[in-house]
Structure 1
Amino acid sequence: MSRRRSPPEQTATRPSSTMEAAIFTLITQFKAHAGKDGAAGTLSRDEFRSLVASQLPTYVPNPHDPAAVDQLMGSQDQNHDGELTFYEFWQLIGKLASEQGGFGL
């Protein structure tokens, strides 16, 4: 029998390690940018552009080029709805981390 974990907003636990703090930062940055243009649980194209430009300027090629960022978003938008869920965003973070760590894909 598997136990379900509460969503992050329901757990008031403060990060106690560097890795937990990194995860917490990813969650809070996603939430800070999501919902300004619509659904609070997804990033719209403009929200994604803002997040990339402000938070990933050296990890994403051409972070200030709307066409390049749109192409990146399209490659992550698995259901092609024009928005990124946290899971789709998390997949991008995994790819960027793999590239930065020299792990390849």
Structure 2
Amino acid sequence: MESAICTLVTQFKEYAGKDGSTSTLSKDEFQNLLTSQLPNYAKNFSSPAAVEQLMSSLDENNDGELTFSEFWQLIGKLASQQGGFGQ
């Protein structure tokens, strides 16, 4: 599990750092991360409007960017779905 956590943090920082700050994902960075790192999930969010809606649902402070904590909500939901855990 430690390796999986390190991978998630590393990938978040890699994509977040493309527009400047490594601590938040912009909309474009988020879309690039989805497409590249979560391609099967991204099929459900192929339109810019769908990505915008997903990002808005995760963006708790409504600043137009995702912190790691906000992004982690998505990872938790995906892991729960993968494991067959109700949420």
Relative to the length of structure 1, the TM-score reads: 0.76
Aligned pair count? Answer: 87
User: Alpha carbon RMSD of aligned pairs, Å?
Assistant: 1.3
Q: Which runs of 5+ in 1 are unaligned?
A: 1-18
Aligned-pair CA distance for 1:60 = 4.0
Match of 1:36 among 6, 9, 18: 18
- Where does residue 54 of structure 1 map in the other structure? 36
- Does structure 2 conserve the Cα–Cα contact (< 8 Å) formed by 1:62 and 1:69? no
- DSSP-derived class of the 1:72 partner: helix
Relative to the length of structure 2, the TM-score reads: 0.90
Q: Which one has more relative contact order, counting CA pairs under 8 Å at least 6 apart?
A: 2
The structure that has the greater radius of gyration is: 1
Q: Which runs of 5+ in 2 are unaligned?
A: none
Identity across matched positions, percent:
69
- Does structure 1 conserve the Cα–Cα contact (< 8 Å) formed by 2:24 and 2:67? yes
- Where does residue 78 of structure 2 map in the other structure? 96
2:60 is aligned with what amino acid?
Q
Select the structure that is richer in helix: 2
Aligned-pair CA distance for 1:91 = 1.3
Structure 2 residue 50 is the aligned partner of structure 1 residue 68: yes
Structure 1 distance, partners of 2:30, 2:5, is 18
- DSSP-derived class of the 2:4 partner: helix
